Structure 1
Amino acid sequence: MSDTNERISGIVGENDVVLFMKGTPLFPQCGFSSRAVAILEHCGVSYESVDVLQDMEVRQGIKAFSDWPTIPQLYVKGEFVGGSDIMMEMFEAGELQELLTEKQVAKA
């Protein structure tokens, strides 16, 4: 496993909810990342964010790690959930909230 994969695996494993995004929750750098942050904020859960614009190795490595070509990417309890479109679909259907409750994710 490469150093980048190990770093990503550590981040995903150490945090209940991780959002790999462009920018930060306070200053998202793309509309999709902004939407993902808004969804997580609305769900009221604690989450860790990783700004892929600050680390090109992570920016490329996360795509291979998840076998998903776009950013943002959401992980819950080590499991890849999807990008902002999937997050939105799950949120609108109540599935994301169910997943967060089922996985006993801490509230913010």
Structure 2
Amino acid sequence: MSDVKTWIQETVTQNPVVLFMKGTAQFPQCGFSGRAIQLLKSSGVENIVTINVLDDADVRQGIKDYSNWPTVPQLYVKGEFVGGTDIMNEMFESGELQTLLKA
């Protein structure tokens, strides 16, 4: 297991809500990342750990390999991969995201 994969695994398991995104919560660098942050905030999450994949090419590729998911952003809740913005949007509209995040 590479150092990046180990670091990703530790990050997603040691923090309740982790979003791998382009940019930061304050300054998202793409529309999908911005929407993902909006959805989390609208769900009442205050402690979001965000990882800017643009800061590190190894992390940017590593997270795609780790989740076997080709795009960013990626949401993890309690160590489990939830999905990207489209999945988060669907879950938010059904109330499932809020339930997951409050559990």
Is the pair's TM-score, using the shorter chain for normalization, greater than 0.5?
yes
1:99 maps to a residue whose letter is L
Alignment correspondent of 2:88: 87
Shift of 1:65: 0.2
**CA–CA distance in 2 between the matches of 1:54 and 1:101?**
30
**CA–CA distance in 2 between the matches of 1:101 and 1:8?**
23
**CA–CA distance in 2 between the matches of 1:59 and 1:51?**
8
- Number of aligned positions between the proteins: 102
Note the 1:1-108 alignment, pairs <5 A: 1-45=1-45, 46-102=47-103
Shift of 1:100: 1.3
Q: Secondary structure at the match of 2:76?
A: strand
Q: Secondary structure at the match of 1:27?
A: coil
Q: Secondary structure at the match of 1:68?
A: coil
1:48-89 Cα deviation digits (max 9, x unpaired): 000000011000000010000000000000000000000000
**CA–CA distance in 1 between the matches of 2:24 and 2:14?**
19
**CA–CA distance in 2 between the matches of 1:94 and 1:24?**
25
**Seq. identity, %:** 63
Shift of 1:43: 1.0
Shift of 1:33: 0.1
Q: TM-score, normalised by structure 2?
A: 0.97
Q: Which runs of 5+ in 1 are unaligned?
A: 103-108
**CA–CA distance in 2 between the matches of 1:64 and 1:32?**
20
Q: TM-score, normalised by structure 1?
A: 0.92
Q: Which runs of 5+ in 2 are unaligned?
A: none
Shift of 1:32: 0.2
Quote the RMSD (CA, aligned, Å).
0.6
